[in-house]
């Protein structure tokens, strides 16, 4: 997140709440935590007791929605669709729900269309409210906190929520069912194109035909083409929904980031590496015994080893005195961020993880996809709806442009520049960055995190951050900034003439 404008001296404590307690412990945590004696190196027999949860098996098992009235496609029908959507993740289903509402004939193909998504998704509540999706959150926290270091914490006055996967998927599928979307249970192997028609070949040997194929099969897709090398960064994280004996976090705040590294005091190797390639803790406390914890590398290139992330999490939980009794859910998060956009236009349309909409500096995507799918749906309806019949190259150009109009491509260059900047920051620089970032006007930091700022606003945000920078930070900016800045300017220039 952010811009090259890093390492800033702390601006006045006006908008976010800052507290400096050099003698007292940091305090997103209840007092009980600090009364505990923080253990030193733990012998393996005691490892579990003090937080080595890695050998616990996740109890998560696949769950499915129960939909009697889902309309399954039967291959012998030989129907031809307007749109075939590959994948029923959040992106694919949102687009299906939206585009079918125009009367467009849609088929969604996925090996498990009714599987409830296994991932824990977090969003800012206002993002879902503005889309009328607030009923699809199963837990909200009125505030978020960011722990910069052992003596400074910031409280963010912006409610945060966990998406109720079941409710969101149910809502989207209900919308699909009411507008006649068909579903087909298969994995897509291949896509072929003729001038005005495309077809998909599935792993069961069946072929389905449509005017437009949309790839919503997630980050690992191979259906989308790029004409530049994909130099993206990666967010990697290890997350657990855990039953714990106790934890030290306030129940009315979610912990957006905890950048402290005191837990690595007895882990010299981990500490040195963490100071160069830092990870933070993200936590959603549900009650005093149930919590979602995720050790996260915001962005790295090459990707930080997964085992290293897990080891840091073990050390952190041990230090916090969190004893994990059961792992109810577990997730490995690996998100490619930034890098070039897909070649545009191309015969396959993309939405979601495979389309470049993931925030290059944060890895968030769910709310943004929910917000962007209606634009793509409207463009498809304009081309394939009853009044007009635009297909082939003209259709591809219009739908790609609906997702990535020029202004949005420009701002994405800026967000990607933010990612390139973050890649260059060590722990100290990262702390300084977030210290200054969360002191910006809420309009700016909230807008940045939700990809809502225009290019002019992003430029203002950078100037404001630079204005707060200390001299050493400015030196850092000037010495580390040129390459990514030049790349961004070059890309902006190319976009504007392309
Ligand atoms: C662990 C993790 C945690 C995340 N947390 C957040 C978060 O808190 N907030 C946030 O905003 N974003 C988060 N993200 C980022 C992003 O929002 C998610 O990855 C999101 O699931 C992407 O949605 P999608 O619909 O594009 O793809 P996916 O959710 O990956 O869905 C793809 C679908 O396509 C299907 N599929 C794949 N290949 C084929 C094929 N060949 N044929 C047919 N079907 C196929 C799959 O079965 C799947 O159902 C997270 C990502 C990960 C990996």
**Given the CA of residue 334, which atom of ligand 1 is nearest to it?**
53
Average pLDDT for the chain = 87
Q: Which one is predicted more confidently, 202 or 52? A: 202
pLDDT at 29: 36
pTM: 0.89
Class of domain 79-111+186-229+343-404: alpha beta
Is the bond leading into 460 cis (omega within 30 degrees of zero)? no
164 CA from centroid of ligand 1 (Å): 15
pLDDT at 471: 60
Section 8-18 average pLDDT: 34
Residue 483 has pLDDT above 80, yes or no: no
pLDDT at 125: 98
Q: Residue 321 and residue 115: Cα distance in Å, rounded? A: 35
Longest alpha-carbon distance in the chain: 74
> Cβ < 6 Å from ligand 1: which residues?
86-92, 109-111, 117, 119, 121-123, 187-188, 216-218, 331, 333, 335, 352-353, 363-367
Q: Which residues of 136-173 are buried (b: 16+ CB within 10 A; e: fewer)?
A: bbebebebbbbbbbebbbbbbebbbbbbbbeebbbbbb
Q: What is the tens place of the pLDDT at every residue in 159-176?
A: 999 999 999 999 999 999
Percent of the chain beyond pLDDT 70? 84
**Given the CA of residue 218, which atom of ligand 1 is nearest to it?**
27
Do residues 26 and 260 lie in contact, with contact meaning Cβ atoms separated by under 8 Å? yes
Q: Residue 433 and residue 149: Cα distance in Å, rounded? A: 12
pLDDT at 397: 98
pLDDT at 183: 98
Residue nearest to atom 29 of ligand 1 (CA): 89
Q: What is the tens place of the pLDDT at every residue in 425-470?
A: 999 999 988 998 999 999 999 999 999 999 999 989 988 887 766 5
Q: Which one is predicted more confidently, 198 or 480? A: 198
Q: Residue 253 and residue 142: Cα distance in Å, rounded? A: 6
90 CA from centroid of ligand 1 (Å): 7
Q: Which one is predicted more confidently, 231 or 24? A: 231
Strands 71-72 and 182-185: parallel
pLDDT at 462: 85
Residue 408 has pLDDT above 70, yes or no: yes
Strands 253-258 and 198-202: unpaired
In the 3-class helix/strand/coil scheme, how is 227-273 assigned residue by residue?
A: CCCCCCEEEEEEEEEEEECCCCECCCEEEEEECCCHHHCCCHHHHHH
pLDDT at 51: 53
Residue 8 has pLDDT above 90, yes or no: no
Do residues 174 and 96 lie in contact, with contact meaning Cβ atoms separated by under 8 Å? no
Outline which parts of the chain fall under CATH 3.50.50.60.
Answer: 79-111+186-229+343-404
Residue 117: pLDDT band with limits 50, 70, 90: very high
Section 61-88 average pLDDT: 93
pLDDT at 180: 97
pLDDT at 226: 96
Q: Which residues of 97-122 are buried (b: 16+ CB within 10 A; e: fewer)?
A: bbbbbbebbbbbbbeebbeebeebbb
Across the strands, what pairs with 334? 236
pLDDT at 41: 40
Q: What is the tens place of the pLDDT at every residue in 229-272?
A: 988 999 999 999 999 999 999 999 999 999 999 999 989 999 99
Q: What is the tens place of the pLDDT at every residue in 31-42?
A: 333 333 333 344
Strands 182-185 and 106-110: parallel
Mutate to test the pocket of ligand 1, among 365, 449, 450 (most ligand atoms within 8 A of CB): 365
232 CA from centroid of ligand 1 (Å): 17
pLDDT at 468: 67
Q: Residue 214 and residue 200: Cα distance in Å, rounded? A: 11
Section 24-29 average pLDDT: 34
Do residues 196 and 391 lie in contact, with contact meaning Cβ atoms separated by under 8 Å? yes
pLDDT at 486: 65
Q: What is the tens place of the pLDDT at every residue in 289-317?
A: 999 999 999 999 999 999 999 999 999 99
Residue 479: pLDDT band with limits 50, 70, 90: low
pLDDT at 386: 80
Residue 12 has pLDDT above 90, yes or no: no
Mutate to test the pocket of ligand 1, among 65, 94, 119 (most ligand atoms within 8 A of CB): 119
- 486, burial (CB in 10 Å: exposed 0-12, middle 13-18, buried 19+): exposed
- 79, burial (CB in 10 Å: exposed 0-12, middle 13-18, buried 19+): middle
pLDDT at 336: 97
Q: What is the tens place of the pLDDT at every residue in 350-399?
A: 999 999 999 999 999 999 999 999 999 999 999 999 877 899 999 999 99
């Amino acid at each position: 997140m952010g811009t090259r404008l890093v390492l800033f001296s702390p601006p006045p404590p006006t908008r976010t709440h800052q507290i400096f307690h050099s003698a007292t412990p940091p305090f997103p945590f209840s007092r009980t935590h600090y009364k505990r004696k923080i253990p030193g190196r733990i012998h393996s027999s005691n490892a579990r007791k003090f937080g080595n949860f890695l050998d616990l098996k996740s109890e998560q098992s696949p769950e499915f929605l129960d939909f009697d009235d889902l309309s399954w496609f039967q291959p012998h029908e030989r129907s031809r669709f307007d749109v075939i959507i590959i994948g029923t993740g959040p992106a694919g289903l949102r687009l299906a729900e939206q585009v079918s509402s125009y009367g467009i004939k849609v088929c969604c193909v996925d090996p498990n269309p009714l599987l409830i998504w296994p991932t824990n998704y977090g969003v800012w509540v206002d993002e879902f409210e503005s889309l009328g999706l607030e009923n699809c959150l199963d837990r909200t926290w009125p505030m978020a906190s960011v722990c910069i270091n052992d003596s400074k914490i910031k409280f963010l006055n912006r409610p945060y929520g966990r998406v109720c996967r079941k409710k969101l998927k149910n809502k989207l599928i209900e919308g699909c069912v009411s507008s006649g979307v068909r579903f087909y249970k298969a994995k897509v192997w291949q896509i072929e194109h003729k001038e005005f028609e495309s077809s998909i070949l599935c792993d069961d040997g069946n072929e389905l035909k449509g005017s437009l194929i949309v790839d919503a099969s997630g980050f690992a897709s191979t259906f989308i083409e790029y004409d530049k090398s994909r130099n993206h960064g990666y967010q990697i994280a290890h997350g657990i929904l855990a039953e714990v004996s106790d934890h030290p976090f306030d129940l009315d705040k979610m912990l957006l980031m905890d950048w402290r590294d005191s837990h690595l005091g007895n882990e010299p190797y981990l500490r040195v590496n963490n100071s160069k390639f830092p990870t933070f803790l993200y936590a959603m406390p549900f009650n005093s015994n149930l919590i979602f914890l995720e050790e996260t590398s915001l962005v790295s290139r090459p990707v930080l080893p997964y085992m290293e992330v897990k080891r840091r999490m073990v050390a952190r939980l041990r230090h916090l005195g969190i004893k994990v009794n059961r792992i109810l859910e577990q997730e490995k998060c690996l998100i490619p961020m930034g890098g070039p956009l897909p070649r545009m236009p191309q015969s396959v349309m993309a939405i979601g993880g495979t389309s470049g909409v993931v925030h290059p500096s944060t890895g968030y995507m769910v709310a943004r996809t929910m917000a962007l799918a209606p634009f793509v749906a409207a463009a498809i309806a304009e081309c394939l709806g009853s009044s007009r019949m635009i297909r082939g190259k003209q259709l591809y150009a219009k739908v790609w442009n609906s997702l990535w109009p020029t202004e949005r491509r420009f701002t994405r260059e800026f967000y990607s520049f933010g990612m390139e900047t973050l890649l260059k920051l060590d722990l100290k620089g990262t702390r300084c960055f977030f210290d200054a970032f969360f002191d910006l006007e809420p309009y700016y930091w909230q807008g940045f995190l939700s990809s809502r700022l225009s290019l002019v606003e992003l430029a203002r945000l950078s100037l404001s951050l630079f204005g707060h920078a200390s001299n050493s930070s400015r030196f850092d900016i000037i010495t580390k900034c040129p390459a990514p800045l030049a790349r961004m300017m070059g890309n902006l220039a190319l976009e504007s003439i392309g």
